[in-house]
Amino acid sequence: ENAFKYDEDVMAQKITSVTFPENVKAPYQGTLSEKQERGNFLILGMAFYGQGLTEVTLPEGVLLVGRQAFARNALTYVTLPETIWWMEQGAFAQNAISTVEFPSTCDFKLNMDAISFAMNEIVSVTLPDRVEKMTSNVFQGNTGKEDGVVYMYGQKALLSEPNIAHVDNGGSRYQKLII
């Protein structure tokens, strides 16, 4: 945690770009996915908090983005890999993100905690076909399509997931599932 968190008393300047190792994976023999290996790279809480990053492409192998790991940067664009499984509270909050490129599918059902993408400039996103959990305020405080409501485009199968179906029945004032 706090690996590269900006602290003006310690760091002379902010980090503006970062390159992650690709395809960091481990064997997998569980029941949650048919995959034989899973991502094994974790970006822990506040790792890049408050830096000067403008764009982040997370490579295959990234499994988790921790609490506020990329919060308070200058991000405008985020790309996520198929190996992403969990985004913790505020993972990408308080940036200038207008584009989030989710993969079309994920190795495991994706989980997004509270305010994962809060306070950005997101209008709409296309969700992967495998999402298990999404709190009602993942996209709180974004530009949205109408009155700050972010449209989340997805496949009909998402409606069968009890922990995200709430966003389609008025359970969230920040996001709306569009099938």
Question: pLDDT tens-digit profile of 108-125?
Answer: 999 999 999 999 999 999
Q: Within 10 Å of residue 9's Cβ, how many Cβ atoms?
A: 4
CB 111 within 8 A of CB 85: yes
Residue 22 has pLDDT above 80, yes or no: yes
**CA–CA distance, 171 with 116 (Å, rounded to integer):** 17
Cβ-Cβ contacts under 8 Å for 35 (sequence gap 6 or more): 28, 107, 108
CB 38 within 8 A of CB 60: no
CB 44 within 8 A of CB 71: no
Conformational region of residue 2, where left means phi above 0, alpha means psi within -120 to 50, and beta covers everything else: left
Closest C-alpha to 105, from 136, 84, 125? 84
pLDDT-derived band of residue 3, with 50, 70 and 90 as boundaries?
low
pLDDT of residue 14: 80
Task: Look at the alpha carbons of 131, 119, 113, 19 in this order and tell me if their dihedral is positive or negative.
Answer: positive
DSSP 14-68: ------PPS--EEE---SS-S-SEEE-EEE-TTTTTT----EEEPPTTEEEE-TT
Beta bridge partners of 41: 62
Amino acid at the residue 115: I
- Pair of tokens at residue 179: 């099938």
Which of the pair, 160 or 82, is modelled with greater confidence?
A: 82
Which of the pair, 1 or 177, is modelled with greater confidence?
A: 177
Record the pTM.
0.89
pLDDT (average), residues 149-168: 76
Residue 171 has pLDDT above 80, yes or no: no
pLDDT of residue 150: 94
